[in-house]
Amino acid sequence: MRIPRLAVLAACGSFVVAADTPSKAPAGTTAEMFSEDLTIAMLADGRVLLHFDFEMHGPQATNSSLHSYGLLPRQIGEIAQRYGVSELQLAFTQGTWREARWGVPPAAQGIGAEVIAQLADGADADAQWSGLTNALSGVFCASLNFVGTESTTSPRLAFAHSQRGGALRHGFLPRENVCTENLTPWIKQLPCQAQSGVAALLNPHRLFNMHFLSVAMALNSDADTLRYRQTLSVVVDTPAYDRSWALSALAGRALAAPCPVATRSSVRVVAPAAVQVAPQADSTHSAGTSVTHLFDLQRRRVDDIVFTFSAEFDDKTKYWAAAKDTPVPAIAAHRHITGHGSSGGIETVITNHRDVPMTVAYFDAVPWYLRMYAHTLSVRATGADGHTSQLTPNQIMFTPAVDRGRPAVLELELELPPQSRTVLRYDFDKGFLKYSEHPPDANRGFTIAPAIVSYSLAPSDTARPLSCTPGTTCAVRVYTEPALASLPTPDFSMPYNVITFTCTILALFFGRIFNLLTRDFAVLTPAK
Amino acid sequence: MSLVLSGQGEKTSPLLRVARKYSAYLSYPLAICGLLWLLALPLSSFSRRAYFSENAMMPGQVYTTFGTQSHMDAMDRVDAELKTKDQAQAVEAVFASIGLDTETQEFTYTKVPRIGKHAGTNVHGILRAPRSDSVEALVIAASWTTANNASNVNAVRLMAGLAQYASEQVYWARDIVFVVTDSGEQGIEEWLRAYQGLTTTSPLFVRSGIIQAALSLELPPAKRYTGLGLYFEGKGGQLANLDYVNMVQYVSRLERMPAYLHGLKDVPRRAHWWTKYTSATQLLLRQVRAQAFGLSTGIHAPFLRYRIDAITLAGLPQPDDPVSAVFAHGLFTDADVPAAPMQRQIGRTIEASFRSLNNLLEHFHQSFFFYMLPANQRYVSIGDYIPAAGLMIASLLLQAMHLWWMQGPDELRSDSPHTRITRINAYYALLRATLPSSVGIIWRVHALGLVLLLIPQLIASSVLTDATTTAYLFTMALASISMVLHTSDIYWTRRIEWQQLKSIVSVYLAVVVACLSVMNFSLAVALFVVAGLPLVFTRVCRVDTRIRRALGVLMLVAVSPVCMMTLGMHVLGCSSNPFRVFLADFYRFGSLVYPLVCLVYWPVNLLCMIIVLIQ
């Protein structure tokens, strides 16, 4: 009897050790791998982009509850297994990426919280999805559990490139703000947390004093491997209007020694040639006007990086001129709500900046309370010659909305002419909501999730996101800005007035009647 | 049948019976009471002290910092750019150098249908709020000329300074759009239409989210300003939310650059009540003029049509200002900019206002959208002024009820139960005989109004100059009056009940005034004064001789649209015939005044004449 017990205890002990110091427990983690990279890019308007990229590989769990997770976060592995997730993307984004100034985004994310999941076939996908969002909500302290059926869609065109069979679900919460409570669990999933390596720069005080912040994770589950990637992109102002500043001043923290379990630990600096970078990088290569400096933190210890700008950057107005030369992404999309009053419309402008026709998929999920009229859809393209003509989509998929059930989904496949501007328009009427369906700040309006334009980037295109390796074909998603639709709002103080009136009257009547019924009236004779 | 029965007192409640008994005497005092109520509105006991309903605004809770060297430099950059470039390009260059997303909008418009094309240019720059989602925006707008056709370059300069100031701050929760137009209200209207995606001829592509509030600036040439004028009425009588008006008044006082409603300064607190009363009356009359007829000052007016709260702040030059005096003689140069402390004070007022607008969590909704402001920082709520309209409507309705009862011969009104069946039959026969002719007259007169409404939109109206407009109006007036004489000539020989006709017209007018009073109180009152009052007093005494009838018609001609508009040209301060102004506003901004004149005021006036003329 004693021996098995001891064995169990020993097993538990070794497991705990393995989880705490993975590098010292080679047995269970030989296949596990972790790499950390930081890209620092000087943007054309004088701001700085920091893009953190952490990647983990591990073997697929064979026996769910007893699987030993070394580097990979156990909570994520278990969630993936429990809900049959083969692919999962989650992003929290705040701030708009200004592609006209900053160029190509490091990874496209729409403002708000977005979950995309590929769920295994067979099982009840809706139940799995609901469980998944609730679990993620708990892990990341986010309101993802509010991704109900009303904001869930199953795109058919937009994410076709990532489709591997099974049920694809997409959920978007446009009003979700990114907060430290989302960042903390995200940091805790890193093997060295924020204690060492480039992750030491993850200083919440600095990260949230930003212009753009996107915290994302992606899970990819094969038959035998589990890949988990955590990325964080942030655009911040330079520390001061000074010609020379250090990375430690920018982040408010210094670089630490690389994470001991990391197989790769690097810092990449992309800056104009006029910017001097000290210390000397391990390798540099230039492309166009910008130079890439690469630091390998595993080869040598780098405590700080100092950037010195030449005098030509003194004049801040030159930044704006420089912004005009920033390589623009192939496709840009912006969406606006049109009209006012009880009806309105949506106008999306998609610009093709390339000299070749581009095939894009347009995806827009319109909430049911904006009663969309599919017959009002018009697509007009203005070419480089200024000539405007009707553009016929290659494919139209429209799913009508169900009240309080699902959103209306419009998916189009469009072939955009070269150097063209395409304007999509469709109209809607604003529905009346029950008073209890309004958010607490009803008069602000309802935020409508961004529309998504996805396309595949040609290998020859140089303006590509950081996540996309050069020389390959990548699937790129472009998000429009969210929109605000103001719906007719009732006077919410009315029920309150009615309640107070009724209560007052009740109290008065009840008080008097109660008094009359319970009090005993008697004539007192003065005591002598 | 129920019409007959109720006319015969068969189906009436005791309350109605009492009302009918006294209706003959009640309607005149009620109309007078309504007017007296209006006259009582300027009394200080009627108004209450302004307060903030929206606590999120937190007005005056920030230290204002506008006026540093970089802001002044940005203002000077406008002058430098203006030396080499035209207006639109200069502003665009300044905005771009500050780091705003800019766009120029070229557009053409027609002032009145088919009267020549005018071209205009709008420039706007958008300051993107850091870490925001660009779904909401605030607007600062200025035109190159003020409402009085003075140069407004001071406002454009100040806007550049404000853009520089705003671009240095990180606390903005919504984007700020700076718009400069060269075509006044029409330019802003075109810009708004493009911004809202309502036009495809001159679209905008650099846009932000929905506009939550707007502020327009007017700084006529002057060295020093004694304060700011605050204007808040929209084109169709919409008003900016009272919280917005209060907030701007409050923060402007903190910055010692007080914003006065319509530019009328405060009356000292210890002034004689009559002084207070006259000052309040003056202010209210200006509001009624602006609200009822859309004769507003400032380019904020088009915003209100799109449910965007907007106001105009206009600088009030000192009476003895040297630059202002020089400008009056046309010798103004752009180098004569306002004194730096003035610019700082006005800039800080706007800064403080925008900080408060930035604090808003929702669209303005807490406070009143319907109000009258009899003095700075005081208001009369809708509950206190709407009874005036109620009294007027009640007077019309009571008279209608009384007249309906009084139609036909006296036998119909006997109480004898023996003749009940006979009475009902006689009454029914009377209605069958007279109702079609009454309704027929009303239709005919309205058709005339419809012609008046449509002709200016159908004819090639390049002929619609000032002189021809007046001529056209008089021709229409003569034609219609001769038609009136002709129709009444026909009906003299036929049996027609004037009581019945007046009763129907009264109900019709009461309904129109009632609907209007909850949309545009000033316009409803104006309509009642020019059309309702004459109707109430039409045929109040016997018109049995030709002289009396002629007198009655003459009095009605005096309150007819033609006379009123010719007189009103000076009262309203229009530069041209009000008819033409209303027509243009109807065409450009969908103003209600012109259709109301054509389809209600004029027909009712003509019907009054017919009522006088029927024997």
- Residue pLDDT tens, chain A, 528 long: 343 433 333 333 333 333 333 333 344 445 789 999 999 998 888 889 999 999 998 888 776 667 778 888 989 988 988 898 989 999 999 999 988 888 889 987 889 999 999 988 776 888 999 999 999 999 999 999 999 888 999 988 887 655 567 789 999 999 898 989 999 999 999 999 888 889 999 999 888 888 899 999 999 888 788 899 999 999 998 876 667 889 999 998 888 889 999 999 999 999 888 888 988 899 998 877 788 999 999 998 888 999 988 777 666 656 656 666 678 889 999 999 998 888 899 999 999 999 999 999 999 999 999 999 999 999 999 998 889 999 999 999 999 999 999 999 999 999 999 999 999 999 999 988 888 888 888 888 899 999 999 999 888 888 888 888 888 888 899 999 999 998 888 888 777 888 888 899 888 888 888 877 887 767 777 775
Give the gap in angstroms from C-alpha B45 to the nearest C-alpha of chain A. 27
How far apart (Å, rounded) are the C-alpha atoms in residues A277 and A294? 11
Burial B55-68 (b: 16+ CB within 10 A, else e): eebebbebebebbe
Handedness of CA B441, B447, B451, B454 (dihedral sign): positive
Write out chain A residues lying below 8 Å of B135, CB-based: 447, 481-484
Residue of A nearest to B94 (CA): A317
Sort strands B225-231 and B259-261 into parallel, antiparallel or unpaired: parallel
How far apart (Å, rounded) are the C-alpha atoms in residues B130 and B500? 68
Take residue B75 and report the two structure tokens written for it. 């203002």
Look up residue B256 and give its amino acid. R
Take residue A437 and report the two structure tokens written for it. 């369906």
* A447: nearest CB among B135, B196, B365: B135
CA dihedral B349, B351, B352, B353 (to 10 degrees): 80
Handedness of CA B79, B84, B86, B89 (dihedral sign): negative
How many C-beta neighbours within 10 Å does residue A241 have? 10
Q: Does B363 touch chain A (CB under 8 A)?
A: yes
How far apart (Å, rounded) are the C-alpha atoms in residues A211 and A176? 16
CA angle B398, B401, B402 (to 5 degrees): 85
Site of tokens 């500050």 = B98
Contacts of B192 (CB under 8 A, 6+ apart): B302, B303, B305, B306
Burial A250-289 (b: 16+ CB within 10 A, else e): bbebebbbbbebbeebbbbbbbbeebebeeebeeeeeeee
Residues B213/B357, Cβ–Cβ less than 8 Å: yes
How far apart (Å, rounded) are the C-alpha atoms in residues A116 and A107? 15
How far apart (Å, rounded) are the C-alpha atoms in residues A226 and A20? 20
Return the closest-CA partner of residue B448 out of B558, B554, B597, B587: B597
More confident residue, A192 or B109: A192
Q: Does B318 touch chain A (CB under 8 A)?
A: no
How far apart (Å, rounded) are the C-alpha atoms in residues A525 and A288? 110
pLDDT for position A19: 36
**What was the ipTM of the complex prediction?**
0.85
More confident residue, B561 or B523: B523
Residues A431/A370, Cβ–Cβ less than 8 Å: yes
Helix B602-613 to helix B498-519 angle (10° resolution) is: 160
How far apart (Å, rounded) are the C-alpha atoms in residues A149 and A407? 8
How far apart (Å, rounded) are the C-alpha atoms in residues A352 and A349? 10
* A94: nearest CB among B131, B170, B198: B131
SS (H, E, C) B136-178: EEEEEEEECECCCCCECHHHHHHHHHHHHHHHCCCCCCCEEEE
* A96: nearest CB among B96, B128, B210: B128
How far apart (Å, rounded) are the C-alpha atoms in residues B350 and B71? 14
> Cα-atom radius of gyration of chain B, to the nearest Å?
28
Residues B506/B395, Cβ–Cβ less than 8 Å: no
Mutate to test the interface with B, among A178, A334, A340 (most CBs of B within 10 A): A340
Exposed/middle/buried for A518, CB within 10 Å: 0-12, 13-18, 19+? exposed
Residues B556/B538, Cβ–Cβ less than 8 Å: yes
**Structural element, H or E, at residue A87:** strand A85-94
Write out chain B residues lying below 8 Å of A443, CB-based: 362-363, 365
Handedness of CA A15, A16, A18, A24 (dihedral sign): negative
Site of tokens 């004459």 = B534
Instruction: Give the DSSP letter of residue A486.
Output: P
Mutate to test the interface with B, among A94, A336, A420, A494 (most CBs of B within 10 A): A336
Determine the 3-state secondary structure of A44 from DSSP. coil
Write out the DSSP string of B71-87.
Answer: HHHHHHHHHHHHHHS-H
